[in-house]
Amino acid sequence: MYLLLVGPPGAGKGTQAKRLAKAYSIPHIATGDIFREAIKNETPLGKKAKEYIDQGKLVPDEVTIGMVEERLSRDDCQKGFILDGFPRTVNQADALTNILEDLEICLDIVFNINVSDQEVINRLSGRRVCSECGASFHIEFSPPQETGVCDECDGGLYQRDDDNPETIKERLVVYSKQTAPLIDYYQERDLICVIDGEKNPEQVFVKIKEALEAIK
Ligand code: AMP
């Protein structure tokens, strides 16, 4: 199954992608995670990406597209994948169309996870992420059992540098200008399935699974 998740920052794409990867045994490919790993390891890619990520801007297409092309050509993507956070521009979507054509892969569905700007601000400003396994918590809406400690793996929780009020606002502007046009792009290709992302993660997951069952 070849899936793509679109939605504003904080829509729950990562949370749903992790569940889907487990349920369907397919890789979860998140460009944001790849960049954060590169930043942690202080690689040249990480240094370049950090300049943009810290400002809430998109990493340039010429950096991002090549990185995704390399990832999708690996063997583990042959039976399926979940793309989370890519594409984020129409140019990236065109590049993805070409990459998938070369790999003889057709996307099955594109989930548009809908969440209001106010909900995004509420979610991201209280988000805490596990530095080990990437699990997401919220200090108010879904706090960990022990403050600062991941329920899943006991890893330490941290606040992402780009989850601060100014950068969140910029990321929302970038989303509406550069990424939201992808909804029409994939609508024209009859691939969009709209999901209400304001429901709780379990309810959202049920809706996604229902849509996947329907296209099988
Ligand atoms: P995310 O974890 O998906 O919220 O991504 C965090 C940040 O990484 C974004 O705000 C961008 O700066 C950068 N990023 C992630 N994916 C992409 C992409 N497809 N194109 C450009 N920048 C990206």
pLDDT higher than threshold 90 for residue 103: yes
Whether 122 is covered by a domain: the verdict is: no
Number of structural domains found in the chain: 1
Whether 6 is covered by a domain: the verdict is: yes
Mean pLDDT of 108-126: 97
The CB of 9 under 6 Å from ligand 1? The reply is: yes
Which atom belonging to ligand 1 lies closest to the Cα atom of 87? 19
CA 55 to centroid of ligand 1, rounded, Å: 11
Catalytic residue positions?
Answer: 13, 88, 127, 160, 171
Whether 107 is covered by a domain: the verdict is: yes
Mean pLDDT of 142-154: 96
pLDDT tens, position by position, 74-86:
999 999 999 999 9
Q: How many residues does the chain have?
A: 216
The pLDDT of residue 216: 79
- Rounded CA separation 80/146 (Å): 36
pLDDT higher than threshold 90 for residue 92: yes
Model confidence, pTM:
0.94
Whether 156 is covered by a domain: the verdict is: no
| CATH code at position 91 | 3.40.50.300
pLDDT tens, position by position, 32-45:
999 999 999 999 99
Mean pLDDT of 12-24: 96
Whether 7 is covered by a domain: the verdict is: yes
pLDDT tens, position by position, 59-70:
999 999 999 999
Range of the domain at 108: 2-115+179-215
pLDDT higher than threshold 90 for residue 48: yes
Radius of gyration of the CA atoms of the chain, in A:
17
CA 177 to centroid of ligand 1, rounded, Å: 14
The pLDDT of residue 28: 97
The CB of 32 under 6 Å from ligand 1? The reply is: yes
On average, the pLDDT of the chain sits at: 96
Whether 168 is covered by a domain: the verdict is: no
Which neighbouring-strand residues pair with 53? none
The CB of 28 under 6 Å from ligand 1? The reply is: no
Mean pLDDT of 90-115: 97
CA distances from 33 to 83, 94, 133, 142, 178 (A): 11, 22, 11, 21, 20
Whether 54 is covered by a domain: the verdict is: yes
Which neighbouring-strand residues pair with 184? none
pLDDT tens, position by position, 174-202:
999 999 999 999 999 999 999 999 999 99
Residue 10's pLDDT band (cuts 50, 70, 90): very high
